[in-house]
Structure 1
Amino acid sequence: MTTSSRAGVPDMISIGIILGSTRPNRNGPQVAQWVLDTASRRGDAEFELIDLRDHPLPHLDEPVAPMLGPSVHEHTRAWAEQIAPFDSFVIVTPEYNHSAPGVLKNAIDHLFAQWADKAVGFVSYGAGGGVRAVEHLRNVCGALRMAVVSHQVAISVLTDFENYTTFTPGDRHTAALNTLLDQVVAWGAALAPLRQPSAETTLAHS
């Protein structure tokens, strides 16, 4: 999904915004749509929303670890084809019991090569802003050879949602999001030369 490049540096990178909750009555779609709407006003990258509800995956059921061999199941191959073209990601996650949703961790665990040498940033929400979920995800994504940007957007369901249901982002959240996007775009572009030779590897592991 990257446009033409100069010496391995893309003119326009593509960033997937992953909505990491699949629960009924979830607040995630409002947050993810706000991220997409804010990001789409930029001119330095292309953005697309990826909803995990559209990609139901069983608990990791591949007989070989994703980093070691090709996937045998069609659901994994379809997920790999969705993720592989993107240059970087923003993950929107709630916090469940001091961690990230199991469905999000499972989706991440299904792949390896499709994540490697890409940047990732986090927008989290929860009673405490979702920060503990992101602390776990930083370690997970680092193990997958992703560049985890330092900035984070933390949204409180206690103060940033009317009646705990309607998302009302303040100016400080928009400013924080733009800083996060600056970092994801910059790192996504900087890592492009490392991704150039990975096409064959990506196919082999999908």
Structure 2
Amino acid sequence: MLNIGIIMSTTRDDRFAKKPAQWILDKARAYEGIEADLIDLRDFDLPFFNEKATNLYARSEDARAVQWQQKLDRYNGFIFVTAEYNHSIPAVLKNALDQAYVEWVRKPAAFVGYGGVGASRAVEHLRGIVSELQMAPIREAVHIGGGEFMKVSPMGDDKDMSAIDEIIAPKANDLLDDLAWWGDALKVAREKSSPKYEAA
């Protein structure tokens, strides 16, 4: 089984993230070969990155960062559910990415974006960030934008995700197919190779 972590990118009081995150969590849990958990950044109270270096080079000193790294370590891949703030990703997500390194390496990353343009610009930024963290960003993604977003957003009709499931579910299936393939391949490769990347 692949352990997949689904990371919600926002911590605002009025965030929309829980709705699409729960939707893709249900899809992932129904997918054969995947076990999935929801990872809520609210639960970790991460400080702004203030370590001597990434944990590849220096052991993190803040216990909250270490707790975060330990949480990430058990997963074989991740789905990032992200909003778009000013054409990029939320600051709390960037900080969460920076608070670890070794735990991201050689694992697949998939993306569910939401907003006016489906968070397409945020996802593009996120692809570059996870590539630098030596993750494998998969091509298939879910972008909830335009009319579909307004159907389920509190700023619009605030309907259940089932109102747009027929439209976006095919992309979710493609995403999970690719995530499972890369997750399996990279898991085997990580287990076969010597651990080149270890926490300091």
Give the TM-score of the pair, scaled to structure 1: 0.88
Quote the residue 1:35 is aligned against.
Answer: 24
- 1:84–1:114 contact (8 Å) kept in structure 2: yes
Quote the residue 1:53 is aligned against.
Answer: 42
Task: Show CA shifts across 1:75-95 (max 9, x none).
Answer: 111000100010000000000
Aligned partner (choices 144, 153, 156) of residue 142 of structure 2:
153
User: Following TM superposition, by how much is the alpha carbon of 1:169 offset from its aligned partner in structure 2, in angstroms?
Assistant: 2.5
Distance across 2 between alignment mates of 1:65 and 1:192: 23
User: Following TM superposition, by how much is the alpha carbon of 1:120 offset from its aligned partner in structure 2, in angstroms?
Assistant: 0.6
Distance across 1 between alignment mates of 2:110 and 2:194: 22
User: Following TM superposition, by how much is the alpha carbon of 1:99 offset from its aligned partner in structure 2, in angstroms?
Assistant: 0.3
User: Following TM superposition, by how much is the alpha carbon of 1:193 offset from its aligned partner in structure 2, in angstroms?
Assistant: 3.1
Quote the residue 2:178 is aligned against.
Answer: 183
Instruction: Name structure 1 gaps, 5 residues minimum.
Output: 1-11
Distance across 1 between alignment mates of 2:165 and 2:64: 39
- 2:84–2:90 contact (8 Å) kept in structure 1: yes
Paired-residue identity, %:
37
Give the TM-score of the pair, scaled to structure 2: 0.90
Aligned partner (choices 117, 129, 133) of residue 118 of structure 2:
129
User: Following TM superposition, by how much is the alpha carbon of 1:118 offset from its aligned partner in structure 2, in angstroms?
Assistant: 0.2
Say which structure is richer in helix. Answer: 2
CA spacing shift, 1:45–1:58, aligned 2, 3 Å: same
Aligned partner (choices 72, 84, 97) of residue 83 of structure 1:
72
- 1:13–1:45 contact (8 Å) kept in structure 2: yes
CA spacing shift, 1:59–1:159, aligned 2, 3 Å: same
Alignment of 1:1-206 (within 5 A): 12-156=1-145, 158-162=147-151, 164-165=153-154, 166=158, 167=161, 168-196=163-191, 201-202=197-198, 204-205=199-200
> Which secondary structure does the structure 2 equivalent of 1:68 belong to?
coil
Say which structure is richer in strand. Answer: 1
Instruction: Name structure 2 gaps, 5 residues minimum.
Output: none
- 1:125–1:157 contact (8 Å) kept in structure 2: no
